[in-house]
Chains A and B, each alone.
Chain A
């Protein structure tokens, strides 16, 4: 498996502010992914974070709202910008590990509540 640490674990944010979530992996990985899980919903892919290039965003997600950094092969950040109550979600970092057949593992998640 993979050890994936996320910070913060939980936060309450004011409307209009921005928050950066950090994801640290215990070893180098090529691909890192950011997912969102809104209350009562399943997981939706926001973007794929590639080291050395810009993130690839899924339909409905834009870089201005969710800027992503990937400075090296073990770390990534996701910023949720200009937050509104609709951004209240769990944000999850995930990685693909080639050991055991290219399985995808998830971090512990960051639970954001926007008030």
Chain B
């Protein structure tokens, strides 16, 4: 059975801090790993990673994948209160594009 594990489950930081969110996986027929931000209902796409060692960056957010060790990290620098959300990691497997999600990391950024 495919498995995606995120850590920590929740995190409280002060505005301006840097955070690292972790995602490890055990799946068959890996295709890609995706990160989403969920504030209310719809997960918002952040990154898709398919190759090891290549950092994807968007503003203060960045992510990298290690296919040998089967994990990915999502970094957020200079956090803002607007970064408060649940961050979801999902792994796509097989030809049917099925996503298996982790439980998410709930990030709260305080003033």
Contact flags (1/0) for A77-115 with B, using CB distance below 8 Å? 000000000000010101010000111111111010000
| Interface residues of B, dominant DSSP | strand
Does A102 contact B101, Cβ atoms closer than 8 Å? no
Number of chain B interface residues as a range: 20 to 34
Task: Please count how many residues in chain A sit with their CB below 8 Å of the partner chain's CB atoms.
Answer: 26
Report if A45-B98 is in contact (Cβ < 8 Å); known contacts: A103-B34, A104-B34: yes
A-B pairs with beta carbons under 8 A, tally: 59
In the assembled complex, how far is the CB of residue A90 from the closest CB belonging to chain B, in whole angstroms? 6
A101 contact set on B, CB distance < 8 A: 48, 50
Chain B residues in the interface with A (C-beta under 8 A):
32, 34, 36, 41-45, 48, 50, 88, 90, 92, 96-104
A-B contact pairs, 5 of them (CB 8 A): A45-B98, A90-B41, A92-B42, A103-B48, A107-B42
